[in-house]
Chains A and B, each alone.
Chain A
Amino acid sequence: MRFRQPSALPGFGLTFGYTLLYLSLIVLVPLAALVAKTTSLTWEQFLATVTAPRELASYRLTFGVSLLAAAINAVFGFVVAWTLVRYRFPGRRLVDALVDLPFALPTAVSGIALTAIYARNGWIGSHLAPLGIKTAYTPLGVLIALTFIGLPFVVRTLQPALMDLTSELEEAAASLGASRWQSFRRVILPALAPSVLTGFGLAFARALGEYGSVIFISGNLPMKTEISSLRIVAKLEEFDYAGATAIAVVLLAGSFAVLLSVNGMQWWLRRRTGTA
């Protein structure tokens, strides 16, 4: 068995060596430091750190609100992607380009902008306040920021899938007597489900680690609106490196679990639709 298949092209040694060196220096060694630091705590110390009441409250907020934000984005992202791909209306290309704004706008800018809008004297906050709805400095504010930040994921994973969905499938369904709604539910939706799920998973994972856009609008009240990323920063400011690392491990494990279970569900969906 050989390491590399023969090729007429030159430059493998140089580019492979450089890629490996640069990858190790920038990514692998730093991440190894994270793993090594985790092992510096005993299991009891680790558990005590990550299950402190303030951390538990931060996980509940971070995981709960991220899940909700990803769900909102799955629903509205579907509508947005469907509209952008299927319908023609003035300004469609502009709207399409604007969808990536949450990726392009620095998170600190999104953070202060959302806070200004939803504060009690803000454009939207001032209309919600008389109704007794407080958004800024509450979990609802966190939800708004995380929905903003995850908005492009579902739209962008769904758009290519929608474009690939040929009209032949729908025509076949219609010719067999299916109504529009039936063909949507039985033909279109199952074909798009894996893409929606991917977008949902990416939005969820992104929301779990989000920091800049949240910390302004959340107000960071202990036990109430502190997200886990903020707890890491707080630990670092106290020079508690081991504590910060322990919370980071919980957060990383959470986002890997999300991505892995999305992959698993996709495999199951494909298999089911493949054999059906």
Chain B
Amino acid sequence: MPGSGHPLRDPPWLVALLVGITLVFLGLFLVVPLAAVFTEAFSAGLGAWFAAFDNAEARSAVLLTLLVAAIAVPLNIVFGLAASWCIARFRFTGRHLLLTLIDLPFAVSPVISGLVFVLLFGLQGWFGRSLAAHDVHILFAVPGIVLATVFITFPFVARELIPLMEEQGSDEEEAALSLGASGWQTFRRVTLPNVKWALLYGVILCNARAMGEFGAVSVVSGHVRGRTNTMPLHVEILYNEYEFQAAFAVASLLALLALATLGLKAAVEWKSRQARRAASEEPAGEPGADRMARGEAA
């Protein structure tokens, strides 16, 4: 067919143009900011970069960030497993409502997520008075930061597990049970191995958000230096005090975390695709070439 009018293939100039637009757009919006973070962070040399972490405030910010993630992520893993078991393995009234409610924290913006905990635990809040009377501090203290983070990262694990478990169905678990395995054994030996990649995927995303959350945590933290500052809040304080290099040094550590998250995410996606392919090839012997051809055509 003559050059210009091939009905199925885009002409080379169009391909070049669209690839060019893609690279320029993503370069401008993604690569340049990332490069700026690292350039500014190391602008005064490696020594200055380390110096940004060599003080009590920075260390406590790093530790608090790790602590918050270490509490929030396991809590949401347990919830994700429980929720996916009851939603993907049983049919009950209100199931769809429950699914919608689980997604709710994604629809609430960060600042508003922080606000709801201020309304609960602030001095004018529902529990504020009685907490103050017993000298219990939640707002402007570590528990408030943990709560806001748990809220923000609430759906991540459940959201990855539920669709996968629904797709897999309960045949294997029912077989294990009929062969005499206990419920717990079935969950540990059958369900967990089947969902491990989706679980890991959810955990990676949940962790990245838990460590990086700014808006919600900023509202409930009260910015007490050395006590209620997480790394993102520490970045803000340094930046507002014109300590740009130190701000970018801390920011660069968070950017590394983001890059590691993206790398792990890509690796897990690849692994789970492989696992699925292997699983679907086993029983019916569906010709792999057919699926590959479809993949190529896409």
Given contacts A79-B22, A151-B30, contact A107 B36 (CB under 8 A): no
| Complex interface: chain A residues within 8 A of B101 (CB) | 23, 27-28
Complex-state Cα separation, A76 to B29, whole angstroms = 11
B93 neighbours in A (Cβ, 8 Å): 1, 3-4
Interface core residue of B112, B154, B235 (most chain A CB under 10 Å): B112
Say what secondary structure dominates the interface of chain B: helix
Q: What are the residues of chain B within 8 A of A170 when measuring CB–CB?
A: 7-8
Contacts of A10 in B (CB 8 A): 177, 183
Interface centre among A28, A100, A208 (most CB of B within 10 A): A100
Number of chain A interface residues as a range: 35 or more
Considering only residues 156-177 of chain A, those with a C-beta below 8 Å from chain B are 162-164, 166-167, 170-171, 173-174
Q: Per a CB cutoff under 8 Å, which of B9, B112, B261 touches A209?
A: B112
The answer on a CB contact under 8 Å between A83 and B79 is no
A101 at the interface (CB under 8 A from B): yes
**A124 within 8 Å of B (CB atoms):** yes
B52 within 8 A of A: no
Q: Is the CB of B265 within 8 A of A251?
A: no
8 Å CB contact of B214 from A1, A99, A211 = A211
CB distance A178 to B212 under 8 Å? Answer: no
- Chain B residues within 8 Å of A85, by CB: 298
* A164 → chain B closest CB, angstroms: 8
Q: Does B70 contact A (CB under 8 A)?
A: no
Q: How many residues of B contact A (CB 8 A)?
A: 99
Also in contact, A245 and B115, with CB within 8 A (given A116-B40, A180-B7): yes
Q: What residues of chain B have their CB less than 8 Å away from a CB belonging to chain A?
A: 5-10, 15, 18-19, 21-23, 25-26, 28-34, 36-37, 40, 78-79, 82-83, 85-87, 89-93, 98, 101-102, 104-105, 107-112, 115-120, 122, 124-126, 147, 150-151, 154, 170, 173-174, 177-178, 183, 186-187, 205, 208, 211-215, 218-219, 231-233, 235-236, 239, 244, 247-248, 251, 254-255, 258-259, 261-263, 265-266, 297-298
Known: A106-B211, A112-B247. 17 other contacts (CB 8 A): A8-B177, A11-B89, A11-B183, A16-B86, A80-B26, A99-B26, A100-B262, A104-B208, A109-B255, A112-B239, A123-B36, A170-B8, A171-B8, A179-B5, A180-B9, A241-B119, A245-B115
Binding site for B on A (CB under 8 A): 1, 3-5, 7-12, 14-16, 18-20, 22-23, 26-31, 33-34, 36-37, 76, 79-80, 82-87, 89, 93, 95, 97-110, 112-114, 116-117, 122-124, 147-148, 151, 162-164, 166-167, 170-171, 173-174, 178-180, 183, 205, 208-212, 216, 229, 232-233, 236, 239, 241, 244-245, 248, 251-252, 255-256, 259
